[in-house]
Amino acid sequence: MKRFLARQVAQLMVGLFGAALFAVALSAVTEPRPRSLPAYLLAVLDRLTHLSHGDLGHSAISGLPVVAELFQHLPPTLLLLAAGAAVALAAGLPIGILFAFGSLRRAAAPIMQIVTATPVFCAGLALAFGASEILHWPVGLASRTGLAASPEEALRLAALPIATVGLAGAAAVQLALRRAATRTAAASFRGGLKRLGLSSVEIEAFYVLPQIFAGLIASAGEIALALVSAAVVAEWVFHRDGAADLFVKSVALADWNMTAVILFAVAALTIVASFLGRVLGFLLVREQMP
């Protein structure tokens, strides 16, 4: 157990350090761009020196320090990710568990292929169309919508991006669940437990389900990747002011300082989610999940 934890912590530290180096290397591509490798390496060194003094640079668009800009835009995105994750679990868990067992698992495979073949932006536009035409909600895709007049309207405006992110997350959750279920379907402990006299229900409830949930938790990094990708698209489609939307604008306007900081935040989120998922999954079943 100690060895496993030490290895995970080492992986976490190396991952975060590598992501920070990648971000520094990206932020050194400023305008005017360094024309040669030595010039670029000098720019990287300069960035590292500034970083050691706690200076992460300024945004080329707003002129504000990138950290201040990030803290201004990050909360709406984190809120969107958290709400999306809640929807993903609420929708993905029942679907995943329902399709995780026996014949339903085999029958569901082709259906899930069709669902997961839909790009997130197509799903977002379809949701917007449904909300506008069927529910008659005020959906603004052409331009930025102003402040909501009432809490009810604010909820409606927030619902579509959350649903888009949540659906993408739900697809990732049910994939992780079904993968774990497939792994346990052939597990050798089933036969042994049956010979010990346990019923099928007892085996599923007390031995298989914890394995499946541990598999889901261990896939936290993969689910975080799906949620972040979907948040980028959802914020763009529904004109939400968040870090993901800021990322797209920063790349388009070659604001590499800002891009690098957001990219580091995203990578750190995924790396930490992977770490926590692997550790919690291990603690749940006392074995390392693949």
Contacts with another protein by CB under 8 A lie at 14-15, 18-19, 22, 26, 29, 105-106, 109-110, 113-114, 116-122, 125-126, 128-129, 132-133, 139, 141-142, 172, 175-182, 221-222, 225, 228-229, 232-233, 236-237, 247-248, 251-252, 254, 259, 263, 266-267, 270-271, 274
Residues near 32 by Cβ (< 8 Å), separated by ≥ 6? Answer: none
Q: Which is nearer to another protein, 71 or 129 (CB)?
A: 129
DSSP string, 22-72: HHHHHHT-PSSPP-SHHHHHHHHHHHHHHHHTT---B-TTT-SBHHHHHHH
Q: Which is nearer to another protein, 56 or 274 (CB)?
A: 274
Work out how close the CB of 284 gets to another protein at its nearest, in angstroms, rounded to a whole number: 18
Q: What's CA 221's distance to the chain center, in Å?
A: 7
Work out how close the CB of 112 gets to another protein at its nearest, in angstroms, rounded to a whole number: 9
- In the DSSP assignment, the letter for residue 240 is -
| Exposed/middle/buried for residue 243 (C-beta within 10 Å: 0-12, 13-18, 19+) | buried
Q: Which is nearer to another protein, 186 or 196 (CB)?
A: 186
Q: Which is nearer to another protein, 76 or 92 (CB)?
A: 92
Residue holding tokens 């949701």?
Answer: 127
Q: Which of 155, 182, 171 is nearest to 222 (CA)?
A: 171
Work out how close the CB of 267 gets to another protein at its nearest, in angstroms, rounded to a whole number: 4
Work out how close the CB of 11 gets to another protein at its nearest, in angstroms, rounded to a whole number: 8
